[in-house]
Amino acid sequence: MVRQEGAAMKVGTDGVLLGAWVNIENTQSILDVGSGTGLIALMLAQRSNATIHAVEIDESSHKQATENVNKSPWSNRVCLVNKSFQSFAFEGDTKYDLIVSNPPYFVNSLKPPELNRSFARHAEQLPHADLLEGILKVMKPSGRFCGIFPYVEGNVFVASAATKGLFCVRKLNITSKPKGTVKRILVEFSFNREPIDETTLSIYSNDGEYTDEYKQLTKDFYLAF
The pLDDT tens digits of the residues spanning 57-100 come to 999 999 999 999 999 999 999 999 999 999 999 998 999 999 99
Q: What φ, ψ does residue 122 adopt, rounded to 5°?
A: -110, 155
pLDDT in tens, 190-218: 999 999 999 999 999 999 999 999 999 99
192: nearest Cα among 170, 156, 165: 165
Task: Count Cβ atoms within 10 A of the Cβ of residue 118 and give its class: 0-12 exposed, 13-18 middle, 19 or more buried.
Answer: middle
Looking at residue 225, its pLDDT comes to 66
Q: Quote the strand ranges of 46-158, DSSP E.
A: 51-55, 78-81, 96-101, 139-150
Contact status, residue 89 vs residue 138, Cβ threshold 8 Å: yes
- List, in order of start, the domains of the chain with CATH numbers: 13-220 (3.40.50.150)
Average pLDDT over residues 161-185: 97
pTM over 0.85: yes
